[in-house]
Amino acid sequence: MPGPVARARGIRRWSAAVFCAALIVGAAETSAQATTSELHGVVLSAAGDPLSDVAVSIAAGDLSTRTDADGRFSFGAAPWGQVRLRLRALGHAPLDTLMLLQSGLAYTVRLRLARFVPQLDTVRVEATLAYGKPARYRHTGKFDDFYERRAKKPGSYFTREDIERSGRSQVSELVSSVAGITLGYRLSPRGMEPHLRVARCTGTSGPRGSGYGWFAVYLDGQRLRADPLDVLGELKTSEIETIEVYRGVSQLPIEAVGDACAAVFITTRYTPGSVLDTNR
């Protein structure tokens, strides 16, 4: 039988071991209280089907995972307190949920994601040819010169749409709407006759036989050797597809360089053999 000294030493060893074990258990409990909170869940579609590969994250703890084939996810060590649970999946509206988690407890949630079908604005695509020539002229070369000159040369240009918007019925009225060109009338042996005056030129277009060379008129590519106002007065805007007006020598295309100071190029809507649809 051990003596008093041996028994005292044994008691001291046992007490120390119990004390150390108590410290370890206490530390484990304190750690668990600070960090442990479990969160499990399943993510379903609006129809109730499990959704796989959904990105699930907890913003506060910077934790993330993805749902499995059964739509399930799990966080074994979620932060406690108020956390934001975020769900993201292709083709579905995102979902953010605020949750209040308590340490030492496990939570199970069921979440549903709604389908998301983005509505895109209608985009109208209109094919164009070289120099911005509209696709409606694809099968004719009749208007190539107009769109090429419009892209390269200074001047005033009227497409069919511009002519219709102007509301003018006479070509001479449309030409005189260009800045620097005025339409007037003066007394002549034939009575009151119109004339076009170009601010950059020293002459006018009329009356007949007087100064028409200053204002050249080209109709469907051909220079007309007549009083321009006789031509412009006879043409109706309903017959015209494009009009080009050049007011001054510096603006003239190479075709008009010579005796002219200003020029008007007119392309009609219909000529023999034209493939242009004139009934639009």
Q: If we measure between CA atoms, which residue out of 164, 160, 148 comes closest to residue 221?
A: 148
Tokens 């006018």 locate to: 204
232-239 mean pLDDT: 82
230 within 8 A of 217, measured Cβ to Cβ: no
| Neighbour count for residue 210 (Cβ, 10 Å) | 15
pLDDT at 242 exceeding the cut of 70? yes
Q: If we measure between CA atoms, which residue out of 46, 151, 133 comes closest to residue 91?
A: 46
180 within 8 A of 199, measured Cβ to Cβ: yes
143 within 8 A of 131, measured Cβ to Cβ: no
CA torsion, ordered 97, 100, 101, 103, to nearest 10 deg = 160
170 within 8 A of 192, measured Cβ to Cβ: no
Residue 256: exposure state from Cβ atoms within 10 A (0-12, 13-18, ≥19): buried
Q: And the tokens for 5?
A: 């000294």
Q: How far apart are CA 245 and CA 256, in angstroms?
A: 12
Q: Is the pTM of this model over 0.85?
A: no
207 within 8 A of 271, measured Cβ to Cβ: no
pLDDT at 1 exceeding the cut of 60? no
Give pLDDT tens digits for 22-65. 334 333 444 444 566 899 999 999 999 999 999 999 976 578 99
CATH topology of domain 132-268: Ferric Hydroxamate Uptake Protein; Chain A, domain 1 (2.170.130)
Most confident of 108-112, 142-146, 170-174, 254-258: 108-112
Per the CATH hierarchy, to which homologous superfamily does domain 37-119 belong? Carboxypeptidase-like, regulatory domain (2.60.40.1120)
More confident residue, 227 or 108: 108
What are the extents of the domains in the chain?
Answer: 37-119, 132-268
56 within 8 A of 66, measured Cβ to Cβ: yes
